[in-house]
Structure 1
Amino acid sequence: MSADEADALEAFERLGLTSYEAKVFIGLHRIGSGTARDVARVVDVPRSQVYGVAESLGERGLLEVQQSNPIRYRPVSVDEAREILRDRFEAEQERAFEYVEDVVEEPTVEEELEDIWTVRGSGRVEDRIVDLVANAEDRVVFVVRLPELLTEEIGAALEERAASGVDAFAVSSTVPVRDRLEQLADVAVFSPPTHRRDDERSGRIVIADDDAILLSVVDDDGSETAIWSAGSLFASVLIQLIEAGEETPFGSA
């Protein structure tokens, strides 16, 4: 068996045919038409199995049966077979995703109770931060240490919230970062408490209102991982723990 034929067989299997069905279908196209004996001579399928496989292919509409003695088989054209398999694939795809859509529209109790989410990769963490900032209604606090983690998108989101009347605060222990933060319109900028300035692992922190929070850490290889929660008891309690004992002008009332 050539590499091309092996690839074709695997492709047919991914389209829903069994290995024997794919072999018989290809074999029939090779000889044009024939009996079970003829097919067994050109493909690696036992003659006794050809009958059942041919019947299955017939039910799929991929071959025609001549009621002679012995029975002869003829495959449909390549274009017709392609159309049949395409329609079948699309129908199965539609059936599968209709079910997924139903699941999304009717979440289970376990999904509704999920409080804490994990996000990996700086790009995805940034997307979540922008989303949390954009949805803040009363106040938003953004804490960042590394210059590369203060992006234009986050800065724009902070400015937009500040312009809409939300109390926007930014905190950094790094002077260049504070300088950039101070360029954001209507965003109040602060240094962290002294005992927090030696931190070398934190990435970004976001507190939105009193019930949404994101915390990220940066690994030695520069990768960023965050946990976040919104509208949950976990988020509210964690915010209170972070702000407890801190004399910050942006603490919750």
Structure 2
Amino acid sequence: MGNRKLIVPDPRRRRLITGLGALGAGALLTGCDSLSRNEQVQDALGQVDRLTRAAQRLVSSRQSLAREFDKSQIAPSFRGNGTTDPSNTAYRQMAANNFADYRLRIDGLVRNPGQFSLDDLKAMPSRTQITRHDCVEGWSCIGQWTGAVLGGVLDRVKPTADARFVVFHCADNTYGGPDKYYESLDMVEAYHPQTLLAYGLNGDTLPVTNGAPIRLRAERQLGYKQAKYIMHIELVNSFADIQGGNGGYWEDRGYEWWGGI
């Protein structure tokens, strides 16, 4: 992986992740939804969020890398979380056909909106990286991800000067609710060299359990930012009119938009 400058994780964020485990096994068993309703979690997330966002952008380079690991540290099985098999008919049909009919639509504030097949994405400049996924539920897992570098994909559609955010619209209805999962990044994180549209995990095709056909890997962000089952990418100036207006499924339920580590 070469000699790269590594960003040192914020110890306060690490303590927060570890400390969430102490909030009770019952909360963890019911998933992120119960955590999102816990006032103690929200207060902690809010305080650390404001600190780490300001600190990361002030003291680290826009290109500073998240830590990468050795192959010997890859987990034997990468844990699935949240939705692990979207139930909607259109997704099931694509999965049954090994995603041969999949098309990623990219539009919004771009000069050249387009649609890209999985083969199209695999032909674009790619990157393989071994990184750690940190979940607010208190667990971490190391995996090897391969995917198209998002910045290179965005260059194909040519974002306009008004584009401030990249929004990822997904196939899954989390916990069977009415709203599709979605997430967003600003342009700095979208163009970060470790931000990928991942189609491979641990040297194999990305499994449905972990977000096939493509999922986001934004390695300087917490797990809830890593959108799975991405169907549509939209570049916008504001996400105020998208679902709850806070930039992501969990953000609409109380999480902070900035999920930086």
Q: TM class, shorter-chain normalised?
A: under 0.3
Q: Which one has a bigger Cα radius of gyration?
A: 1
**Bigger relative CO (Cα 8 Å, ≥ 6 apart):** 2
The TM-score with structure 1 as length reference comes to 0.22
Report the structure, 1 or 2, having the larger strand content. Answer: 2
The TM-score with structure 2 as length reference comes to 0.22
